[in-house]
Homo-oligomer: A and B are copies of this chain.
Amino acid sequence: MEFPGSHILSVNQFSREDVEYIFQVADSMQPYANRERITKVLDGAILGNMFFEPSTRTRVSFGCAFNLLGGHVRETTDVKSSSLTKGESLYDTARVISGYSDVVVMRHPQSGSVGEFAKASRVPVINGGDGPNEHPSQAVLDLYTIRKELHSQNRSINGMKIAMVGDLKHGRTVHSLSQLLLLYDDLKIRLISPAELRMPESIVDILKQKGHEVLETEDMESELAGNDILYLTRIQEERFASKEEADSYRGRFRLNQAIYTRYCEPNTVIMHPLPRDSRAEANELDNDLNQNPGLAIFRQTDNGVLVRMALFALILDVVHKIDDTSSDVGWYTERRFQ
């Protein structure tokens, strides 16, 4: 694809070359995200950060990524404080907001809404999550993390073994990640979930058609061994008819240090889209894994800033100007590297 001026709406718009170009640009953002250098390449530009659904991580990650490139961020965080409640169409909102901004990130509860918004927008739009549909920057940062974790072990995505665990039916992130896995070769993919929360058949089918080896199972423990990557997901209470139904699945796919030690090879990488439910009764991904060097969940969120900086730089066409506008950082940054 041509990045300059494009909307980023779906993982389906990326070829393997696109994804690897994003990764290369994301790598080049490391000194800025690490506060070794600052850049002002987007000095004077404005991000319209429109979150019509609660979010802290994604909203702040996009906002910081834009600030790290030198730009301003104008934010709308509450659907109640917006004209949408007065019957304004997405067309009108897009015409108005895109007149104020240089790029828009939008999260909205309704599937397809961000694409509709983008059609009327006069500036590039990034989908920050449109309900159960897409959240492309999350999928790209997940794959970027997989690549980086494997590279540090001198391996590559092609040929890797990955297990996706938990609620694979409702998990937007595992759906989008699966789409991106179609760009790679010879994967061994294990899909571990309760029968009722299986990965949609359409996704299983395209993974198989691509030639990947796909195994579906309800039995987590027997399939934990032999994976390079474990990608766990949260039971998304809000997608179930009742709290009771959601709770009935808790604990069946729990991972903690004892289970990891018993079943997984050392260096198995643990990923999770976050937030992780750390309440005792959640039984999801235990805090006793926090010191496990394979736990990559916070490297994932750090990588999110790099990937979002890369997306902004690509669609605003400033990739080759970043280093020209850069300078040293003069404040305390040491704790970050401890």
Are B276 and A92 in touch, CB under 8 angstroms?
Answer: yes
Q: Mark A311-338, 1 if CB is under 8 A from B, else 0.
A: 0000111100100000001111111101
Q: For chain A residues 289-323, which have a beta carbon within 8 Å of chain B?
A: 290, 297-298, 301-302, 305, 315-318, 321
Stretch at the interface among A12-20, A74-82, A138-146, A262-270: A74-82
Stretch at the interface among A54-62, A156-164, A173-181, A194-202: A54-62
Name the distance in Å between A121's Cβ and chain B's nearest Cβ: 8
A317/B298 contact (C-beta < 8 A), A60-B74, A278-B88 known: no
Q: How many copies of this protein are present in the complex?
A: 3
Is A67 engaged at the interface, CB distance under 8 Å to the other chain? yes
**Neighbouring B residues of A96 by C-beta, 8 Å:** 57, 274, 298, 301
CA distance A27 to B91 in the complex (A): 27
CB-contact partner of A277 in B46, B88, B275, B302, under 8 A = B88
Are B80 and A54 in touch, CB under 8 angstroms?
Answer: yes
Name the distance in Å between A263's Cβ and chain B's nearest Cβ: 24
Are B92 and A278 in touch, CB under 8 angstroms?
Answer: yes
**Neighbouring B residues of A64 by C-beta, 8 Å:** 46, 74, 100-101
**Neighbouring B residues of A73 by C-beta, 8 Å:** 72, 74
Are A35 and B91 in touch, CB under 8 angstroms?
Answer: no
Name the distance in Å between A334's Cβ and chain B's nearest Cβ: 6
Are A275 and B87 in touch, CB under 8 angstroms?
Answer: yes
Stretch at the interface among A37-45, A108-116, A128-136, A211-219: A37-45
CB-contact partner of A331 in B35, B81, B91, B318, under 8 A = B318
Are B331 and A45 in touch, CB under 8 angstroms?
Answer: yes
* Residue of A5, A85, A124, A275 ringed by the most chain B CB atoms within 10 A: A275
**Neighbouring B residues of A171 by C-beta, 8 Å:** none
CB-contact partner of A298 in B95, B290, B297, under 8 A = B95
Name the distance in Å between A125's Cβ and chain B's nearest Cβ: 10
A331/B316 contact (C-beta < 8 A), A64-B46, A92-B276 known: yes
A contacts, CB < 8 Å to B:
4-5, 35, 38-46, 48, 51, 54-57, 60-61, 63-64, 67-68, 70, 72-78, 80-83, 85-89, 91-93, 95-97, 99-102, 121-124, 234, 274-279, 282, 287, 290, 297-298, 301-302, 305, 315-318, 321, 329-336, 338
Closest 7 CB pairs of A and B: A38-B44, A87-B277, A89-B278, A83-B275, A88-B275, A54-B81, A317-B332
Would you list 16 pairs from A and B whose C-beta atoms are within 8 A, ordered by A residue? A5-B334, A38-B44, A39-B44, A46-B67, A46-B68, A51-B81, A54-B85, A56-B81, A67-B72, A77-B81, A78-B78, A88-B277, A92-B297, A122-B336, A316-B332, A318-B330
